[in-house]
Amino acid sequence: MLTDNFKRKIDYLRVSVTDRCDLRCTYCMAEDVTFLPRQEVLSIEEIIKLIDIFNELGVKKFRLTGGEPLVRKNIITIIEHLSELKKQNRIHEHTLTTNGTNLSKYAKILKTNGVNRINVSLDSLDSEKYREITKHGDLKKVVNGIHTASEEGIKVKINTVLTQNFNEEEVFDIINWCKIHSFDISLIEIMPIGAIGEKRFNQYLSMKKFEKNLVSKLNLTPSNFRTNGPSRYFSDNKSNTKIGIISAISHNFCDTCNRVRLTCTGKLFMCLGQNDYVDLKYSLRNLGKIDIIKQIEYAMSIKPQKHNFEILENNFDGYIDRHMNETGG
Ligand code: SAM
Ligand code: SF4
């Protein structure tokens, strides 16, 4: 079992399988983003090798993310491998976070391979607004994908990033839509990760203020429900929908952190909100398993206690100098 210096057990790995994406969400990346050269990106076989090593070290939960995981060629090979590990009881769960653009195509094969729940990002149910926030997105395609996944028996959770002057009103309609379709939803506070060509301060909506309004307007009560993630959940008495709140800035949850993140270039980040990492690619390509294990164990010893996110009016680029699509959400 991997344990860090703060006695936190690390049993969860998020794997960013690509930095590429077919959308350009305005809070995630700049529209003219340059993606990594392909030779820098780990092959499918290299990702699988690292997954196996983490699994041997006690990691039992894996989430594929990106960039957009479903645009990575041969992504199914990784999902099939995780499915095999699950059949052998070597892992508890494998899931993914997706923008949903390719869900109609992949829902069936995901379900066949033991993916029982997924997170789908959706910030508006208005086609024009959806296109505005994603720059390229086709809402209809995504909504069809979500319904296909649900019909296949995959439990869907919607991820909605709260953005100032964009969806702070509409979020109530999105919650209502989730209730109608029995989807859970997590509302995410924007984090200052990477330069996006505009001030983070102008996008940021404090969850502290918003949460009060949400709880009283929908008559919500705190729920004991927990997943492996950082959401605090609420429910009403009228639906099965659980409403999660992920507020990294207003409500720090680092003391219960159980995860680390692997980028598609083999960098292991121990915290989404800090710059420390160990680079596993060299060992993967030139040394052996023992060296990789030593590096992972070292990584645990330098896992930061917490992030130091803050969004200041005069800080243009935010705090972290890499983008969310690189580290994986
Ligand atoms: N492409 C997939 C998707 O959008 O679901 C997976 C990767 S995306 C980086 C993962 C999650 O991070 C998404 O729910 C997205 O909304 C969220 N995200 C991206 N940039 C963010 C930011 N700056 N602050 C908070 N959440 C962010
Ligand atoms: Fe792509 Fe996801 Fe980032 Fe949107 S949030 S640009 S879908 S990686």
pLDDT at position 321, please?
72
The answer to whether the beta carbons of residues 62 and 94 sit under 8 Å apart is yes
- Please identify every stretch of the chain with a pLDDT value under 70, giving residue numbers as ranges: 228, 250-252, 309-320
pLDDT at position 151, please?
98
Range of the domain at 244: 2-327
Of 16, 25, 163, the residue with max ligand 1 atoms within 8 A of its CB, to mutate for a pocket test, comes to 25
Q: Whose CA is nearest to atom 3 of ligand 2?
A: 28
pLDDT at position 227, please?
72
pLDDT at position 276, please?
87
Alpha helix positions (H), 152-286 = 171-181, 200-203, 207-217, 281-286
Look up the pTM and report it. Answer: 0.94
Total count of domains within the chain: 1
Residue 289 Cα to ligand 1 middle (Å):
32
Q: Whose CA is nearest to atom 17 of ligand 1?
A: 329
pLDDT at position 190, please?
87
User: What is the position in ligand 2's atom list of the atom closest to the CA of 29?
Assistant: 6
pLDDT, tens only, 205-256: 888 888 889 999 999 998 888 776 777 899 988 898 999 998 877 666 788 8
User: CB of 71 closer than 6 A to ligand 2?
Assistant: no
Distance CA 68, CA 23 (A): 8
Ligand of minimum distance to the alpha carbon of 30: 2
User: CB of 134 closer than 6 A to ligand 1?
Assistant: no
User: CB of 114 closer than 6 A to ligand 2?
Assistant: no
pLDDT at position 87, please?
98
Q: Whose CA is nearest to atom 4 of ligand 2?
A: 25
Alpha helix positions (H), the chain = 44-56, 75-87, 103-112, 127-134, 139-151, 171-181, 200-203, 207-217, 281-286, 289-301, 324-327
Residue 266 Cα to ligand 2 middle (Å):
20
Whichever domain contains 151, its CATH number is 3.20.20.70
Q: Which residue has the tokens 């990492």?
A: 277
DSSP structural state of residue 320: B
Residues 6 or more apart in contact with residue 296 via CB below 8 angstroms: 2, 53, 54, 57, 268, 278, 280
Distance CA 2, CA 60 (A): 11
Radius of gyration of the chain (CA): 19
pLDDT at position 311, please?
63
User: CB of 194 closer than 6 A to ligand 1?
Assistant: no
pLDDT, tens only, 124-138: 999 999 999 999 899
